[in-house]
Every structure is written in structure tokens, then in C-alpha cells.
Amino acid sequence: MTDPGPVKIALVGCGNIAQTHWHGIQNHAPYVEVTAVVDTNQDAARKMAEQTGASAFTELDTALTSGEFDAVDLMLPHDLHVEASLASFNAGKHVLLEKPMAPDLKGCQQILDAAKQAGTVFMIAEQAQYWPDVYKTLELIKNGDIGKIISAQGYFFDMLRINPDDPIPWRFQLAKSGGGICIDGGAHWIRPLRIWLGEIDEVIASTQHPVDHMEGESLAHALFRFQNGVTATFSAILSDARSGPNVAFRLTGKQGEILIEHGRNGRLLLFNDQYPKGEVIMKTAAGKGASYGLEIHDFSQAILKGTPLQATPEFSLGELRTALAMYRSVETRTWEKVWQEEI
């Protein structure tokens, strides 16, 4: 029996995230072949083409017309997601789109409608969906290792890195990003909480702007009340200050706790009557690095074999809706429902 594939894919957007996707393809997506790269910056496209052996394009429309590929991996500023997705679906391509689907729900609906009409595979790239420690934690929860969960915490700290050639990146511009740290990197912390605890019902939030040249929020604190009644705290901070050791996630149950440490030396720790001083269940860093390739592999298998995606595009709306509810809460200074807005 011959192996299926490969899926010929175009990398659209040749910035930093393209490097992690390319590394992931090389190491964890054996049925994917990069045959085209696209970037409006000619030098970036040329360098990525040299790196991958693919054909270089400076316009997506030209690539869709002249390139040889089955699918696109869209890694673009958030405000370009709708236009690029619709063009790709209209060309009959499978689409892997970096989160969020769009900066607002109207844009998401446009993309979902186009995907349905095209009938091709559509996936939102959310790396946290593929973190091994997330699923080990879910296994511990289901096994009852900490009993019924009564509280949770998510803490996202991101080190501010300034490129002197691009001191105000697109992520710092509201017109391009649609928000700040909550709609962007914060999504990677919201997804695991949803996997473990189910859907978020309502939120109350406060945001600040300690990074002066960033238009969106660079600091946020919130309470998430889940539909099952559990309340979680959520914090997201972007800073150039040195940080001490911190816990990315804490799940407290009636019979113990699970901690997931942040950083390259992070560990998943279990505390209960059997392990009163804590047991190291696994190291976490390697799995997080592999997640980019694992998500692209999942995408390829959906194309080649019809395998269901680990998470549907509609499921990804939970992170966007949570961020948008946080932004409304900042304005109203009260609890805001996550699912109240129609799409």
C-alpha cells in the first residue's frame, strides 16, 4: 500500500511564524511539501524560497493562479485573514489559517460561509490544541487524580522583543490586530482551560497598557466563569522586564492540584495524597515546540484521508469570543456573556 500525499502547500507570510511552521513541517509533517512561498516583501519571499526550495511569489493572487499547490498556510496580520481566506477558497484550496479566524465575528462568518461553499478542508491553527501536557492533564482530570475541580488559574507571560527594524510591529496596531495580548497570545492559554473545563459562560476583565507603543492591551486580568460553575483567574502580561519562575496553569481539585510550569524547563506536576510533595509527570517544553508540526500534520491527514480535525474551525471561536467579551467588560465594568453575540 502506497503512502498518501504529499499535500503541496504554500506558506503565505514569511515572517517569524513561518520559520516555526517550516521547522514543524520538516520534523512532524511527513506528508506535506512546501512548493510555494508568498510575501509582499520580496527579500523575505526570496529567502524563504531558498530555505524551502519552493517557488517565490509577492502576491497571493498570482500564486493562486500560477503556483502548484493544493493548500495554503496563511500566516498574516489579522486584518488580512478574511481577504486571503476568501481568495484561497475561491481558488479551491484547502486553508490552514493562523488564529484568530478574524478580528471580529462578522469576518469569521464570511470565512465560514466561503469554506462551506468551497467544500475544502478548513482549519484554524491553534498550537495549544496539540500540547501534550494539555492532554496528559485532561487524562489526570478524567482519572480523578485531583478530584472534582473547584478552581483554576492561567498565567501567560510573554517577553517583549523589539526588532530595531520594526519597532512598531503589526501586532501593536489595533487596525491590524483587532486587540492586544488577549486576542493574540492569550488564546493559547484560553484553549487549554476550555479543553479541561468546557465552555466559558461569562467574563469580567481589566486591561492596562504598560507597553507605551502598543495600541492594544499589554496587560490583562480577568475572571472566567465556566458553564459548569467553576471560576478561573486569567492573567496575560507582555513585558521587557525579567520575570521570576511562574506557573502557567494551576488546577485545584478537592483532592489535589495540577501545576504546569512556564518556560523551557517547565514541568507538569501532580500533588495529591499519593504525591504530597509533588510528582513530575512530564517535561513540557519539547511538546510545545512540536505542536506547530503536529497541527500541520493533522491538517494534512484531514486532506489526504478525511480524518476529523482535532478541533473544528467553529470551536476556535471560543477564544475570540472570550477576548471580545473581555474587551466589552473593560468598557461596561461588569460581567459579559461570551456567547451572547450572534455570528
More confident call, 13 vs 162: 13
Integer Cα distance of 91 and 94 in angstroms:
9
Closest CA to 86 of 68, 103, 69, 107: 107
Given a cut of 80, is residue 304 above it in pLDDT? yes
Ranges assigned E (strand) in the chain: 7-12, 32-38, 55-57, 71-74, 94-98, 122-125, 149-159, 200-208, 219-226, 231-239, 247-253, 256-261, 267-272, 279-283, 336-337
Residue 299, domain member (yes or no): no
Is the four-CA dihedral 149, 224, 238, 319 of positive or negative sign? positive
Model pLDDT for residues 23-79, shown as the tens digit of each residue: 999 999 999 999 999 999 999 999 999 999 999 999 999 999 999 999 999 999 999
Q: Is the peptide bond before 6 cis (omega within 30 degrees of 0)?
A: yes
Residues 105 and 213 in one domain: no
- The chain-wide mean pLDDT, for the chain, equals 95
Print the domain residue range for 117: 7-126
Residue 34, domain member (yes or no): yes
Write the CB contacts of 287 (distance below 8 Å, at least 6 apart in sequence): 131, 132, 133
Q: What's the pLDDT at 1?
A: 44
Alpha-carbon separation of residue 63 from 69, 87, 168 (angstroms): 9, 11, 29
Mean pLDDT, range 169-184, rounded to an integer: 96
Residue 238, domain member (yes or no): yes
Mean pLDDT, range 244-267, rounded to an integer: 93
pLDDT bracket for residue 245 (50, 70, 90): confident
Pick the last residue of a domain from 126, 150, 168: 126
Integer Cα distance of 238 and 279 in angstroms:
30
Given a cut of 50, is residue 301 above it in pLDDT? yes
Cell of 74: 496563511
Cell of 181: 495580548
Q: Comparing 2-6, 109-113, 114-118, 206-210, which segment has the lowest mean pLDDT?
A: 2-6
Q: Return the percentage of the chain with pLDDT > 90, whole number.
A: 89
Cβ pair 70, 7 in contact under 8 A: yes
Residue 297, domain member (yes or no): no
Model pLDDT for residues 12-34, shown as the tens digit of each residue: 999 999 999 999 999 999 999 99
Closest CA to 297 of 30, 4, 33, 2: 30
Residues 19 and 98 in one domain: yes
Q: What's the pLDDT at 28?
A: 97
Q: Is the peptide bond before 164 cis (omega within 30 degrees of 0)?
A: no
Residues 211 and 163 in one domain: yes
Mean pLDDT, range 234-239, rounded to an integer: 96
At position 115, the amino acid (one-letter code) is A
Residue 285, domain member (yes or no): yes
What's the burial of 109, exposed, middle or buried (CB within 10 Å: 0-12/13-18/19+)? middle
Q: What's the pLDDT at 3?
A: 65
Residues 112 and 163 in one domain: no
**pTM for the predicted model, two decimal places:** 0.95
What domain count does the chain have? Answer: 2
Residue 296, domain member (yes or no): no
